[in-house]
Amino acid sequence: MNKTPIEAAALAKELLAAGVDSPNADVVFCVPSIDIPVVIGALSGSNIAVGAQNIHYKNAGAYTGELSAAMLSDIGVKYVIIGHSERRQYFGETDETVNLKIKAALAAGLIPIACVGESLEQREYGVTIELVRLQTKIAFSGISAADAAKTVIAYEPIWAIGTGRTATSEQAQEVCAAIRALIGELYGAETAETIRIQYGGSVTAGNANELFNMPDIDGGLVGGASLNADFSKIVNF
């Protein structure tokens, strides 16, 4: 929840000028819903896509304050973050609603960025891999291989979000590899190779190079470091 529409448009233009529209990376700005129209306008002519931070899983109805996938698609949104840990923690998001929202996004032609990850307590209990596999299995329940291949999965250890703590590249690689292995079990090797798996959790210009060079980390779900021009260093690492 950062940036008014005026501020968001200014930041988008600043980031464009800093070189984030790279031919070597797919870049998506996932902005607060009220900022979406002005950011789409500010990015006109670039290759940067715009995403939303959440959707409802119903197409329409008595769900005051919510936005449907069709509404977002209609104004030019291409991606949507689903199941971010903050949505789970503060707004009651569950693995089951994540599954419903992924299906709704795909039906509307949006690309879901499905988030999974463990708390510090869960990591210390040694259940990270089991938990992330469970979250991923439920998230993709009833989804075809063709649709799964379009989806992005973001591994975001909750204990590393906004804390300044970052999973080591080895820790992040271990979990991302486990996610890819599970996708292989569910859908086969081709889908596992095609699907994009990101790391999210205090990604910075200082650690992006090491993280993104891991074999099973295909990019980053970047938070605070995307709010200034240094984001271009992450895109162009």
How does residue 201 score in pLDDT terms, banded at 50, 70 and 90?
confident
List the 79-82 sheet strands across, edge first: 28-30, 49-52, 79-82, 111-116, 152-155, 196-199
- Summarised one tens digit per residue, pLDDT across range 4-44 is 999 999 999 999 999 999 999 999 999 999 999 999 999 99
Containing 155, the helix (H) or strand (E) segment is strand 152-155
The first and second tokens of residue 5, run together, are 């529409």
**pLDDT of amino acid 205:** 93
Report the alpha-carbon distance of residue 74 to residue 35 in Å, rounded.
Answer: 15
How does residue 162 score in pLDDT terms, banded at 50, 70 and 90?
confident
**If you write DSSP's letter for every residue of 14-40 in order, what string do you get?**
HHHHHT---TTS--EEE--GGGHHHHH
Domain 5-235 architecture: Alpha-Beta Barrel (3.20)
Q: Which residues contact 88 (CB under 8 A, 6 or more apart)?
A: 94
In this model, does residue 76 exceed pLDDT 90? yes
Letter string b/e over residues 32-66, b meaning 16 or more CB atoms within 10 A of that residue's CB: beebbbbbbebbeeeebbbbbbbbbbeeeeeeeee
In this model, does residue 164 exceed pLDDT 90? no
Indicate the SS3 state at residue 76. Answer: coil
CB 129 within 8 A of CB 175: yes
Q: Where are the domains of the chain?
A: 5-235
Q: Which residues pair with 196 in a beta bridge?
A: 152
For the stretch 96-99, contacts whose Cβ atoms lie closer than 8 Å and that sit 24 or more positions apart, written own/partner, are: 96/138, 97/57, 98/135, 98/138, 98/139, 99/138, 99/139, 99/140, 99/141, 99/142, 99/143
Report the alpha-carbon distance of residue 147 to residue 235 in Å, rounded.
Answer: 26
Which residues carry out catalysis?
Answer: 84, 156
**What percent of the chain has a predicted confidence (pLDDT) above 90?**
93
**pLDDT of amino acid 3:** 98
Cα separation values, 105 from 14, 79, 99, 147, 195, Å: 30, 8, 10, 10, 16
**pLDDT of amino acid 91:** 96
Alpha helices in 126-195 (DSSP H): 128-139, 145-150, 169-187, 189-194
- Summarised one tens digit per residue, pLDDT across range 206-225 is 999 999 999 999 999 999 99
Other C-beta atoms within 10 Å of 113: how many? 26
CB 141 within 8 A of CB 178: no
- Summarised one tens digit per residue, pLDDT across range 34-48 is 999 999 999 999 999
